[in-house]
């Protein structure tokens, strides 16, 4: 790859220092995959870094502030390398590349060719799923290092999706014998008898996001077989009482809707050879007014206990559609303003 950095004359006074970089990639086809259909990956880089990027075949010219141009170059090189390995390059991968290159520029200013190794999940269906933000990478490290991990933060940060992916990888590696998935069924007061169907059909509406994540990481026929054999189990939180779960990966999702007593009950289900993951957003509790969330209480109570990990996701870690990120930012700003007022 060749690059030709130069300044745009006559623009510095009005806009500060400006730069122009031209990058030439070796393979036209791979470059087009890196740029995205209709150059939508380039468009996202433009919006995020406030630069102008123009593609012509295997060449791309980037104009903007010098630091932003350099970060865009490194992000495009990362996307090209991913495409050259035969991996898909999606908008989420652009977020990951931008996050990695931002950290790379902060931590390794004298090593422009270095790459930060974000953590990955490997399953048979989805090999090499890379964390897209530093918080996601820290989350995956915590999941590997600790028997119990709390993850809190807003919707769209990948808390549940990565937890399910990690659980599937543990199952496929033989590190655990089964996966147990649970959620508080707050809307029905955990009294599900009036709903039609068997237990699975009653619980399905509450666990649909977890099923969706499972389908991303496992083949449908294997999920169905796992459900039939008990290798994959789904249950509302109330049905966990009195059990000891050994050699299992246990996930409690939407944990902000668990009471303090329910949370204590759930955490004490942990048996030998098991891993436990608790995810939720403390700002979106559906508990009755004045009742403390079991998630917040447990995080405070167990802070610093050996073997327990804790990861906090912020609004900037949202990896869904860009509009979701802006919506979360707007709500967070309104909450801060309300508390300050």
Beta bridge partners of 275: 249
- Verify that 142 and 276 share a domain, yes or no: yes
Count CB atoms within 10 A of the CB of residue 133: 24
- Inside any domain, residue 122: no
Give the number of domains in the chain: 2
**Domain around 55:** 2-116
- Verify that 144 and 282 share a domain, yes or no: yes
- Inside any domain, residue 197: yes
Quote the CA–CA distance of 190 and 188 in Å, as a whole number: 5
- Inside any domain, residue 121: no
- Verify that 112 and 140 share a domain, yes or no: no
- Verify that 36 and 148 share a domain, yes or no: no
What contacts 290, CB < 8 A, 6 or more positions away?
none
Quote the CA–CA distance of 323 and 339 in Å, as a whole number: 24
- Inside any domain, residue 124: no
- Verify that 111 and 133 share a domain, yes or no: no
- Verify that 170 and 52 share a domain, yes or no: no
For the domain that residue 55 is a member of, what is the CATH number? 3.30.1370.10
Burial 150-177, CB ≥16 within 10 A → b, else e = bbbbbbbbbbbbbbbbbbbbbbbeeebe
Tell me the pLDDT of the chain (341 aa) as tens digits: 554 444 444 444 344 678 898 999 988 899 999 998 888 889 989 988 899 999 988 889 999 998 889 889 988 998 998 889 888 888 778 887 887 777 665 433 333 334 456 888 999 998 878 888 888 989 999 999 999 999 999 888 899 999 999 999 999 999 999 999 988 876 534 444 555 566 556 666 667 788 888 999 999 899 999 999 999 998 888 888 888 899 999 999 999 999 999 999 999 999 999 999 999 998 888 888 888 899 999 999 999 899 999 999 988 788 766 677 678 778 878 877 887 75
């Amino acid at each position: 790859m060749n690059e030709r950095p130069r300044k745009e004359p006559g623009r510095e006074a009005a806009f500060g220092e400006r730069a122009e970089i031209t990058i030439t990639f070796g393979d036209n086809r791979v470059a087009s995959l890196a740029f995205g259909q209709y150059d939508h990956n380039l468009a996202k880089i433009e919006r995020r870094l406030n630069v102008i990027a123009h593609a012509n075949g295997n060449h791309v010219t980037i104009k903007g502030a010098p630091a932003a141009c350099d970060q865009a170059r490194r992000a495009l090189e990362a996307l090209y390398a991913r495409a050259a390995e035969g991996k898909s390059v999606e908008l989420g991968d652009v977020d990951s590349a931008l996050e990695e290159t931002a950290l790379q520029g902060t931590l390794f200013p004298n090593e422009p060719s270095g790459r930060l190794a974000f953590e990955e999940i490997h399953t048979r269906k989805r090999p090499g799923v890379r964390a897209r933000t530093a918080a996601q990478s820290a989350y995956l490290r915590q999941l590997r290092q600790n028997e119990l991990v709390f993850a809190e933060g807003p919707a769209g940060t990948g808390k549940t999706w990565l937890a399910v992916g990690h659980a599937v990888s543990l199952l496929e590696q033989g590190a655990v014998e089964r996966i147990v998935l649970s959620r508080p069924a707050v809307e029905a007061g955990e009294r599900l008898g009036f709903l039609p169907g068997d237990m699975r059909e009653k619980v399905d509406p509450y666990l649909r996001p977890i099923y969706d994540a499972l389908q991303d990481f496992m083949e449908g026929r294997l999920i169905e077989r796992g459900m039939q054999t008990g290798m994959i189990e789904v249950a509302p939180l109330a049905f966990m009482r009195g059990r000891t779960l050994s050699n299992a990966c246990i996930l409690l999702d939407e944990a902000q809707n668990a009471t303090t007593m329910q949370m204590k009950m759930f955490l004490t289900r942990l048996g030998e050879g098991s891993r436990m993951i608790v995810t939720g957003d403390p700002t979106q509790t559906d508990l009755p007014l004045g009742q403390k969330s079991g998630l917040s209480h447990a995080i405070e109570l167990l802070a610093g206990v050996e073997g327990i990990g804790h990861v906090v996701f912020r609004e900037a870690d949202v990896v869904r559609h860009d509009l979701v990120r802006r919506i979360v930012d707007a709500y967070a700003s309104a909450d801060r303003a309300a508390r300050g007022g």
